[in-house]
Structure 1
Amino acid sequence: MDEFSGILPFVHVAETRSFTVAAHRLGISPSAVSKVISKLEGDLGTRLFTRSSRSVTLTQEGQAFSERCRRIISDMEDARQALVQAQAEPRGLLRVTVSPSFGMAEIMPLIPGFLKQHSAVKIELNMSAHVTDLVKEGFDVAIRIGEMPDARLVAKELGIRRLITAAAPGYLSQHGTPRRPDDLPTYNCLVLLNANTGMPIDWLFNKGRTEQRMRPHGNFLTTSSSALATAATAGVGIMQALEFNIREELADGRLVSVLEEFEVSGPKPFILFPENRRLTPKVRLFIDYISERLGGAV
């Protein structure tokens, strides 16, 4: 398959539209480049370039071939880089941003284990509910819940989390237990606000094969899931949250779940990183480490 030896010179000529510039890049003579291209065209049985004394342009077949060749070279470089990085010890600063509630409940318990395995890595953990521009602000990784509109990011799912509707036993003893979502307007429903928009986050329920969405109304509104749980355990009202936000309160009985037959999966957590940035060993290892432990696969 001698034609493979001509791919790199071909791509350089296609990019520069010049045999001379391509030859300079490759460290060989223009005549050698011309000879390689002519042989490649002969092997393929088609003309790749239209040549004149003043210009070199791709034919239609040459354009299609160049796009495929560039992908091949990019894949080869990625493979080479991955091999080099696999042999390198991960080190340096790793900047991670994560929403506070998910960060404390799910990510922070995993950080010590990662640092013990990779002692040359230093982690800066930014806990913020605000959407962050990874590229602009210099973060390596973001961990967020729900859809991410930034097309520049690759998103890897970190499993599924249940949405739990819950209240304190004392509140239910005083006000009764709701039997269906339609009962909730008669209860004090504690409101979680979106930290970026300030809008109330709707409650979700399973209604047969469809999803029922309900806007909660109550006398306490907050952007903090932790504050919402504190109010609920104090008997202020009913709350809905992803399971990890109230795991301890459910385990020790300070909160009890209601409407379990109407439960749905909540917004999915994702680990995100820039699409066009080659991952360094520390970033790749961190993504794999978190994904393996939280149910995602990279």
Structure 2
Amino acid sequence: MAKERGGDHFAGIVPFVRVAEARSFTGAAKRLGLTPSAVSKAIAKLEGDLGVALLHRTSRSVTLTPEGAAFYERCRQIVSDIEEARESVSTAQAEPRGHLRVSLPLAFGRLEVMPLMPGFLEQNPELTVDANLTDRAVDLAEEGYDVAVRIGRRSEARLVARRIRRTRMVTAASPAYLRERGVPERPEALRGHNCVGFLLPSTGALLDWVFEHDGRPQSIAVRGNLTVNTVEAQVEAAVSGGGVIQTLDFIARRAIEDGTLVPLLEDYLTLGPSIFALYPENRRLSAKIGVFIDFLTRTLGEV
């Protein structure tokens, strides 16, 4: 019977698989809760035990060697099966625990999720959460995130998407503006109003406004003397009397509730983009990811 080489070389397989997935020592280290140096040393020892180089390392990238690619394909499913077995045992016996890294859209995170976090953490005392608020589409694997919340579903390979809630588009203006300029009764009337436009940060495109009546969608190209690239600035401009806005319901909700904005054209409301939680398909729905997504779905609900 052949003697095993390097009795503890299995310890390097999980770090190797994580680096292969993230193409980054830093991303793998964040996911594993280790330092990049520790991950690098584990893989170097694994390569020494195997007698082959598994990775090409440069200052800017990490890629698999041909031997590394073949080894990864064999190890990937093994690691996934072990994690699934571990999860099936731990989730049946223990509450969610550990560290959860979450990416949230700026406005949605600040307005909707952050007020809920103390309650979530009180219900899950064995969890800690690192919440990063950004409108950038983070790379979950490379940057070490467990879950990302996105407005609008983007097709991304190797990610599972679960819808948290729907949104609606809301058109509104301040009472002072409406006293001066009048209340538009139909979407076409907006062409005679000063509309605060929104520039999509990812493309710089000025968004048309959308409406629906009797099942028929309608798009209006509005004009005004101000455009902005954040939804918070758009709401502030409208509250200050700067014009009419169209935005997502949750962004304008507080201003409408306190009377600083008045909803308009409510017979022409249309659905906005849905909000999704995404997690890597190879992570399976772990206890900590599952409890977070379930909490958001339960507390924020469907519109």
TM-score by length of 2: 0.69
User: Would you say the 8 A contact 1:131–1:196 is kept in 2?
Assistant: no
The answer for unaligned runs of 5 or more in structure 1 is 1-70
Which of 218, 226, 238 is equivalent to 1:232? Answer: 238
Which of 159, 170, 176 is equivalent to 1:170? Answer: 176
Which of 108, 116, 140 is equivalent to 1:134? Answer: 140
User: Would you say the 8 A contact 1:206–1:264 is kept in 2?
Assistant: yes
Tell me the residue number matched to 1:270.
Answer: 276
| Residues 275 and 115 (structure 1), Cα distance of their counterparts in 2 relative to 1, 3 Å cut | same
Letter in structure 2 aligned against 1:164: V
1:201, CA displacement in angstroms? 2.4
Which of 249, 259, 283 is equivalent to 2:255? Answer: 249
C-alpha separation between the residues in 2 aligned to 1:223 and 1:255?
20
Indicate yes or no: 2:208 matched with 1:202.
yes
Which of 262, 284, 289 is equivalent to 1:283? Answer: 289
Tell me the residue number matched to 2:101.
Answer: 95
Secondary structure of 1:107's aligned partner: helix
Secondary structure of 1:158's aligned partner: strand
Tell me the residue number matched to 1:213.
Answer: 219
Indicate yes or no: 2:264 matched with 1:258.
yes
Secondary structure of 2:91's aligned partner: helix
| Residues 295 and 79 (structure 1), Cα distance of their counterparts in 2 relative to 1, 3 Å cut | farther
Secondary structure of 2:279's aligned partner: strand
Secondary structure of 2:210's aligned partner: strand
| Residues 202 and 77 (structure 1), Cα distance of their counterparts in 2 relative to 1, 3 Å cut | same
Q: Deviations over 1:263-285 (max 9, x none)?
A: 01111111111122123322221
User: Would you say the 8 A contact 2:87–2:286 is kept in 1?
Assistant: no
Secondary structure of 1:276's aligned partner: helix
C-alpha separation between the residues in 2 aligned to 1:95 and 1:201?
32
- Between structure 1 and structure 2, the one with the greater Rg is 1
C-alpha separation between the residues in 2 aligned to 1:280 and 1:239?
40
Indicate yes or no: 2:89 matched with 1:109.
no
C-alpha separation between the residues in 2 aligned to 1:77 and 1:149?
26
C-alpha separation between the residues in 1 aligned to 2:86 and 2:124?
23
User: Would you say the 8 A contact 1:86–1:281 is kept in 2?
Assistant: no
Tell me the residue number matched to 2:191.
Answer: 185
Q: Deviations over 1:75-115 (max 9, x none)?
A: 99847732432323432221111111111121111111111
C-alpha separation between the residues in 2 aligned to 1:77 and 1:169?
57
Secondary structure of 2:160's aligned partner: strand
C-alpha separation between the residues in 2 aligned to 1:225 and 1:77?
40
Q: Deviations over 1:119-156 (max 9, x none)?
A: 22111111111111112211111111112121321111
Secondary structure of 2:114's aligned partner: helix
Secondary structure of 1:161's aligned partner: coil
Identity %: 43
Aligned length: 226
Letter in structure 1 aligned against 2:263: S
Tell me the residue number matched to 2:131.
Answer: 125
Q: How does 1:79-90 map to 2 (within 5 A)?
A: 81-90=87-96
Letter in structure 2 aligned against 1:153: L
Moved over 3 A (4+): 74-81
C-alpha separation between the residues in 2 aligned to 1:214 and 1:176?
19
C-alpha separation between the residues in 1 aligned to 2:159 and 2:265?
36
C-alpha separation between the residues in 1 aligned to 2:204 and 2:293?
30
Secondary structure of 2:204's aligned partner: coil
Secondary structure of 1:211's aligned partner: strand
Does 151-160 or 239-248 show the bigger shift?
Answer: 151-160
| Residues 86 and 191 (structure 1), Cα distance of their counterparts in 2 relative to 1, 3 Å cut | farther
